[in-house]
Structure 1
Amino acid sequence: MHASALRKADLAASAGELDERRLRTALGRFATGVVVISTGTGDELHAMTANAFMSGSLKPPLIVVSVGHRARMHECLMRSDLFGVSVLSEEQESHSRHFAGEPQAWLAPRFMEVEGLAGVVLLHRALARFAARVVDRHPCGDHTLFVGEVLSFSLEEDAPLVFYGGRYASVAQGH
């Protein structure tokens, strides 16, 4: 393994002078899965696409979503005690686009209620589904990190939808 030192000129400018567009491009070099965050039910249902999702802890079982302050979902999660996360399969790119603000007129997303948890619905046929109770909120610049305790989950055996470099992709599922 060969390591080389980076010259200061190779690195981005100091924090006060960062080029936001290049920073976004650099952050886009990290491949992520794609999720739909949901809260509420019926006429009060709100859902949005995100890729800022991670496992927080196994004991206790915690998940974390990052939501921008300007997103309508932010206000919903500030008022709600429960939320859902549906991890999208490679066959659900249209769902991602739909809940990212590109309405897919032909799409009729199907949500499933979570038994015993009024206020949480999850996307039908998602790769993995989590119902969570908000246990903490952490300001993080122009976003808030919402920490949720996993109350129930389910999973399927499909390939995930991946987002990399501003584009959707998929990965071969290994068995």
Structure 2
Amino acid sequence: MNNRLFRDAMGKFATGITIVTMDDKGEAIGMTVNAFMSVSLDPKLIAVSIDHKASMYNKLQETKKFGVSILTEHQKDISMIFAKQIEKDKEIAYNQLNQIPVIKDAMVNLACKVTNCIEAGDHMIFIAEVTDLIMNENKQMPVLYFNGQYNYLQSN
């Protein structure tokens, strides 16, 4: 099978959209990540998969700390900016959680500390303990990624 067929098949799995952020010498940097999952309740672990070519790849291995922001339906543009699909046309608003920048008004913000790194093909899976979290009870729906496009849930 070729890469395009595999990529298209994996695109049939709908995912939420997250922004992984970190502090880089006093500057907040981030990237859009949909390869995110909960791993364990005890201890509280999550995992993100980052391409070896990503600009944050080496920095995450060095700092061992990052934030995860689960985006709402109204934050699609933020995802597109961090995915370099559109030019940055506004300042991104951040909050601090355990001295880690996270996206303001996201559905959920997590502060994470890397506990393990696993090489997996052309990606590194960063397993991290969640050290703090904030849930924004704004009753918004998530933005989703399916079949290569952004999508939204409809509330009943």
Q: Which has the higher strand share?
A: 2
Aligned AA for 2:135? Answer: L
Pick from 144, 151, 168 the counterpart of residue 131 of structure 2.
151
TM-score, structure 2 normalization: 0.93
Counterparts of 1:57 and 1:135 in 2: how far apart (Å)? 12
For residue 4 of structure 2, give the secondary structure of its aligned residue in structure 1. helix
Q: Residue 42 and residue 127 in structure 1: after superposition, are their counterparts in 2 closer, same or farther (change >3 A)?
A: farther
2:7 aligned with 1:24: yes
Counterparts of 2:123 and 2:80 in 1: how far apart (Å)? 21
- Structure with higher RCO (Cα < 8 A, 6+ apart): 2
Counterparts of 2:49 and 2:62 in 1: how far apart (Å)? 16
Counterparts of 2:85 and 2:6 in 1: how far apart (Å)? 24
Pick from 106, 109, 124 the counterpart of residue 89 of structure 2.
106
For residue 138 of structure 1, give the secondary structure of its aligned residue in structure 2. strand
Moved over 6 A (4+): none
Q: Is the 8 A contact 1:127 1:158 kept in 2?
A: yes
Q: Residue 105 and residue 72 in structure 1: after superposition, are their counterparts in 2 closer, same or farther (change >3 A)?
A: closer
Pick from 94, 115, 119 the counterpart of residue 135 of structure 1.
115
For residue 56 of structure 2, give the secondary structure of its aligned residue in structure 1. helix
Give the percent of matched residue pairs that are identical in Structure 1 and Structure 2: 32
Counterparts of 2:119 and 2:71 in 1: how far apart (Å)? 26
Aligned AA for 1:40? Answer: D
Counterparts of 1:75 and 1:111 in 2: how far apart (Å)? 22
Note the C-alpha offset of 1:112: 0.5
Counterparts of 1:77 and 1:106 in 2: how far apart (Å)? 26
User: Which consecutive unaligned segments of at least 5 residues does structure 2 have?
Assistant: none
Pick from 124, 127, 152 the counterpart of residue 104 of structure 2.
124
In the alignment, what sits opposite 1:3? none
In the alignment, what sits opposite 2:42? 59
Paired residue total:
154
